[in-house]
Structure 1
Amino acid sequence: MLSFELEPERQDTIAAYWRKHHTWLASKGYVLRTSLRASWTPAASLDLDPRYLQRGVVIDATRASDGMHVALKRVCLDRASGEVDLAHYFQALNGKSLRNHCTPILDILPVDGEEKDVILVMPLLKSFDEPSFKTFGEVVAFLSQIFEGLEFLHDTVNITHGECISRHIMMDASPLYEHPYDPSFPTLRRDWAGPSKPRSRTSRPVRYYFVDFGHAKSTLAKADTAEVQELRAADIYELGNTIRKVFFNQYDGFEFLYPVLADMMQVNPSDRPTARTLFRRFLNVRDSLSESKLRARLIHRNGEPLLRKIGNDVSHWLVTAKRSLVGVPAIPDA
């Protein structure tokens, strides 16, 4: 996990805000960690995953009605009223289309005594690449969902994201864990009884989501104008650059993505494909990949020591053979 430290004064301010409202949140059905309740004495240590629990604006909690682990995001209407408007819109979309990969909004809570604050309640999500991808098929499943989700954003709900970078793409990792992980220390179980031990995406498919719509814009009133096309092209470029950094630059064997990425990152925005064209084109690439390629394991460009590589190859071959025999799909669509 990436480490992230805040100044003690900032930690105290963040903790004080949530402690101030913990009783009210409990009345709304959301229970905070013990360290963020009013009865907690020492200052809370917020050693948080910077790509999700960002500066204390987002924390984790438990929904009392069913024990679901959720994320609470504090939004200030002075700075992000548009994000709250979109949250209401996304809340109405919940469950209506599998093509929708916008983070689900479970609840929207105007904060008691804070007229300019709203708390958005969302599923507890995790960085999309932690734990790491193991096979090409797992990456193909990820790309299929994200390209589908971007097409849905641009063409169905007429919204541009505005910042399609890695920290704004996450996954519902709950299928990977027999015991829930601690969001502040993802390598540990939530009860700290041991390591979290994630299973593979191939055996437990996950769904991926775009999050953080603070820079998003509705394009419905300006459909097909030059301004809208430029905003959409910017999304395409940023997503392509994210894929390049996370996969193409880190692992061998992604040559099949090069033509798609090259077009996504064209210097001239008008030369980049639309989200619809991109998704259709990627589906053709996906269909062209053999099962052996999809089941092959990812190997970092830095390579592996010989003995470790042999051990990893043998272990992967045995797991892959078993999955093939029992019919586990090479692309773990969810």
Structure 2
Amino acid sequence: MYIDPYHPFYPSRKLDLTGDARYHSRTRKPVKYYILDFGLSRKYEASSLPALEAPIFGGDKSVPEFQVSLEPCDPFPTDVYYLGNLIRRSLTEGWAFAHPVFGLDFIKPLIADMVQDDPSKRPTMEQVAERFDESCAGLSSWTLRSRVARKYDPAIAIPFVFLAHWGRRIMSISRRRPAIPSLSDAV
């Protein structure tokens, strides 16, 4: 996304701090995100499923099945919980380091299903992907191009952010860029 290398402490500035770092929007230059497990992964043969594993404690200690007992459990619903809780805490509800954002109400029912206390009631990761695609397909181009904003954006910045967003929006529409870029174009 960045044309110029950016400074690690000031991502909006160039690496040498001589000016603003230039970048492209995620719509113009799609990005493919990967959620990593930082060495906590396990590999399973398809013939040995469903797998039962003792709890593997990573960064998120809020997994409901780990609160009740430390008995072996199926790790796949736990992964669904981890992803749902990450999205819930960093985007839809917020927490100490990330305020919630406007514009993601369409995903809240899916997230609620992903973080259910009963692991057997959580959707599989395939169902999550399918439901997310269905949710996005049901949104209008107008909604998909709407700005997603943190709830704490300072009032002084709102006019500038608003104008910049509308400028990008008009350019995307005039250049006939799709509201959801293709993952085949991802960097």
TM-score bracket, shorter-length normalisation: 0.7 to 0.9
Number of aligned residues: 158
- CA offset digits 1:280-331 (Å, max 9, x no partner): 11111110011111101112223541x5433432332232112101112211
| One-letter identity of the residue aligned with 2:170 | A
Go from structure 1 to structure 2 and tell me whether the alpha carbon gap of 1:300 and 1:207 turns closer, same or farther (over 3 Å shift).
same
After TM superposition, give the deviation of residue 197 of structure 1 in Å: 3.2
1:326 maps to what in 2? 175
Equivalent pairs: percent with the same residue? 32
Go from structure 1 to structure 2 and tell me whether the alpha carbon gap of 1:189 and 1:309 turns closer, same or farther (over 3 Å shift).
closer
Distance (Å, rounded) in 2 between the aligned partners of 1:187 and 1:283: 32
Q: Which has the higher strand share?
A: 1
Distance (Å, rounded) in 2 between the aligned partners of 1:303 and 1:195: 20
Does residue 301 (structure 1) correspond to residue 127 (structure 2)? The answer is no
Look up the SS of the partner of 1:286 in the other structure. Answer: helix
1:94 maps to what in 2? none
Go from structure 1 to structure 2 and tell me whether the alpha carbon gap of 1:226 and 1:286 turns closer, same or farther (over 3 Å shift).
same
Distance (Å, rounded) in 1 between the aligned partners of 2:86 and 2:165: 27
Alpha carbons 1:230, 1:270 under 8 Å: kept: no
Distance (Å, rounded) in 2 between the aligned partners of 1:319 and 1:214: 39
After TM superposition, give the deviation of residue 223 of structure 1 in Å: 1.5
TM-score of the aligned structures, taking structure 1 as reference length: 0.43
After TM superposition, give the deviation of residue 262 of structure 1 in Å: 0.7
Does residue 262 (structure 1) correspond to residue 112 (structure 2)? The answer is yes
2:67 maps to what in 1? none
Matches within 5 A, 1:1-334: 176-183=1-8, 186-191=11-16, 193-220=18-45, 222-227=48-53, 230-249=74-93, 250-305=100-155, 308-333=157-182, 334=186
Q: Structure with the greater relative contact order (CA < 8 A, sep ≥ 6): 1 or 2?
A: 2
After TM superposition, give the deviation of residue 204 of structure 1 in Å: 1.7
TM-score of the aligned structures, taking structure 2 as reference length: 0.73
Go from structure 1 to structure 2 and tell me whether the alpha carbon gap of 1:259 and 1:283 turns closer, same or farther (over 3 Å shift).
same
| One-letter identity of the residue aligned with 1:246 | S
- CA offset digits 1:37-74 (Å, max 9, x no partner): xxxxxxxxxxxxxxxxxxxxxxxxxxxxxxxxxxxxxx
After TM superposition, give the deviation of residue 185 of structure 1 in Å: 5.8
Alpha carbons 1:263, 1:272 under 8 Å: kept: yes
Indicate the RMSD between aligned Cα atoms, in angstroms: 2.4
Structure 1 or 2, whichever has the larger Rg, is: 1
After TM superposition, give the deviation of residue 184 of structure 1 in Å: 6.7
- CA offset digits 1:88-120 (Å, max 9, x no partner): xxxxxxxxxxxxxxxxxxxxxxxxxxxxxxxxx
Q: Which runs of 4+ in 1 moved over 6 A?
A: none
* Structure 2: stretches of 5+ with no match in the other structure: 54-71, 94-99
